[in-house]
Chain A
Amino acid sequence: TQLLEQSPQFLSIQEGENLTVYCNSSSVFSSLQWYRQEPGEGPVLLVTVVTGGEVKKLKRLTFQFGDARKDSSLHITAAQPGDTGLYLCASLNNAGNMLTFGGGTRLMVKP
């Protein structure tokens, strides 16, 4: 089982600021997924990255997969209060039936 470390654990910023959160492992990922979880709800898939060096954009969110496929980052531009939530990275095992999650980054964006 891969161990996924996310940083920072907590982040509190003002509306309009930019931020980056990280997901790292000592192992190589076959793919990596980013989820957002709001209080009282289940995680919602934001993106899946598969290829080393891949960059995917989702409106103000930019996801990058490291060249060696051991790390990933999520960058949010001009954060809004609606971005508040828990951001989780996860990897799927080789059998494709078990997600291993990182500990998450809890983001709060103040108006």
Chain B
Amino acid sequence: NAGVMQNPRHLVRRRGQEARLRCSPMKGHSHVYWYRQLPEEGLKFMVYLQKENIIDESGMPKERFSAEFPKEGPSILRIQQVVRGDSAAYFCASSSTSGGGTDTQYFGPGTRLTVL
């Protein structure tokens, strides 16, 4: 079984450009989570999505960041007009169910974004 897949693994953008990060959940998983890991910091929750719905975006910056999980295709984390402070590793996780505190989130290998 393929695990959570993320692409690209590395992404370099210049300030002001757009970054699109893709995440394909594990087969059979309909819940997707995005986390960000800034240099020398722990992972921070950004957003939780189910197919075609954003369930919790409490960790998303209010501006320039958006996420979607369409009916078909991967989940996309989009960062518009990137700034140097957006440089980080972005991880996607997926689970088969949610709630109850016992569902395992499986993490992808991450996309490392570098903003020049």
Contacts and interface: CB of A to CB of B under 8 A. Distances in A.
A99 B55 contact: no
A43 B43 contact: yes
Given A40-B109, A95-B99, A101 B43 contact: yes
B69 to A, nearest CB: 13
B102 A31 contact: yes
Contact of A43 (B41, B48, B98, B107): B107
A-side interface size class: 20 to 34
Interface string B74-104: 0000000000000000010100001111111
A88 B42 contact: yes
Task: Name which of A30, A90, A99 has the most chain B CB atoms within 10 A of its CB.
Answer: A99
B44 interface: yes
Interface of A: 30-31, 40-45, 48, 50, 88, 90, 92, 94-104
Interface of B: 4, 31, 33, 35, 41-45, 48, 55-56, 58-59, 91, 93, 98-110
